[in-house]
């Protein structure tokens, strides 16, 4: 069963791009004491993810922060180099680009999808959640499109 509102995020080691290359970060530390929006995409540089999902959070970063969000985090089953390049290509300086290179975070959340028919392997589902001090307050998953997981939808959900 996928993670649910009320559950605590699993403590998984992932990667961020640092000044000297990829750096390890634990989800426990990344989300501790913060109100965060965490959204996941099936793949960096893929059409919907690049044309709408990430750009929506970039454009609305200030509005999210105005509603009390301390961190906006994007994750994908890609390595830290790809996530960093994708973030730079979309001027996503306000977004923490979190690499789930082995898909362990997506698997532990039970939010994976099989894209082997498209040559992509096991990927994350498209989701967005509000996390408060590591605990999931809201989770939306989109099987297709961005109706439930867009920045605009998350903005509306924030109290």
Q: Whose CA is closest to 83, among 130, 30, 46?
A: 46
* 74 given a catalytic annotation: no
Q: Which helix (H) or strand (E) holds 123?
A: strand 121-124
Between CA 49 and CA 83 the distance in angstroms is: 12
Structure tokens at 33: 């004491």
> One of 9, 30, 40, 49 is an active-site residue; which one?
49
Between CA 89 and CA 49 the distance in angstroms is: 12
Instruction: Enumerate the active-site residues.
Output: 49
């Amino acid at each position: 069963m996928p993670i649910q509102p009320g559950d605590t995020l699993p403590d998984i080691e992932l990667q961020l791009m640092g000044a000297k290359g990829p750096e390890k970060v634990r989800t426990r530390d990344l989300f501790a004491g913060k109100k965060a929006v965490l959204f996941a995409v099936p793949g960096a540089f893929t059409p919907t993810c690049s044309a709408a999902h990430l750009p929506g959070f970039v454009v609305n970063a200030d509005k999210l922060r105005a509603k009390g969000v301390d961190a906006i985090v994007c994750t994908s089953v890609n390595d830290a180099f790809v996530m960093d390049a994708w973030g730079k290509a979309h001027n996503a300086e306000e977004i923490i680009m979190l690499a789930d290179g082995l898909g362990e975070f997506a698997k532990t959340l039970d939010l994976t999808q099989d894209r082997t028919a498209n040559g992509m392997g096991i990927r994350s589902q498209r989701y967005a959640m509000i996390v408060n001090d590591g605990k999931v307050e809201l989770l939306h998953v989109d099987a297709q499109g961005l109706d439930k997981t867009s920045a605009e939808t998350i903005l509306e959900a924030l109290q």
